Amino acid sequence: MTKIKKLSDIEAKKIAAGEVVERPINVVKELIENSLDSGAEKITIYLEEGGKKLIRVVDDGCGMSPDDALICFDHHATSKITKVEDLSSLQSFGFRGEALSSISSVSNIELITKEEASEAGTLVKMSGGKYVSQEEIATADGTDISVKDLFFNLPARKKFLKKTETEWKQIAHLFQALCLDRKSTRLNSSHQIIS
């Protein structure tokens, strides 16, 4: 009998998530960068328990089609590049297609998104990296993504999260830094964080 075994896709994704998601601040950073890459001019962040219970990012960016809303959670699914040579002309934040796959593997996610040209939006639900459901929904243009119960399926990781106040302060500092960094381009006073 062999000692070496291949991990299931779900277990491998949970372990890989540690490279992208260590704390709530990592999730917020990835989601804000996705919003900026989508051309959003307004981004609102809602937090519960410093992001441990809920991180919700709502933007008015370009949104996604129903097909894109589902495939965006796949490992290495990206709209930014198609080949390695594209890296030399990259003008976006993320490009590897790791973030949403990793985040979804360690949380419960609800993604609501709609493109401007579409009559209806799409709601996709994921839990622990597994697809739960997809349905048509009435919604505004843009994307509204809720990440709930971070590390619900990895108690060993969850216990290393800091106090709510500490997690919240880190997110607030990140948000301020991003606002200052992008002030001259896309971010403006319409961006807000709500706890």
The reported pTM is 0.81
Q: φ, ψ for residue 106 (rounded to 5)?
A: -120, 25
How does pLDDT run across 119-154, given as a tens digit for each residue? 999 999 999 999 999 999 999 999 999 999 999 998
How does pLDDT run across 67-103, given as a tens digit for each residue? 999 988 987 656 554 555 544 555 555 544 478 988 9
Summarize the confidence of residues 41-48 as an average pLDDT. Answer: 94
Confidence of residue 172 (pLDDT cuts 50, 70, 90): very high
How does pLDDT run across 2-29, given as a tens digit for each residue? 777 777 777 776 666 666 789 999 999 9
Confidence of residue 186 (pLDDT cuts 50, 70, 90): very low
Interatomic CA distance for residues 88 and 93, integer angstroms: 13
Q: What pLDDT, on the 0 to 100 scale, is given for residue 96? A: 44
- Print the SS3 string covering 84-106: HHHHHHCCCCCCCCCHHHHHHHC
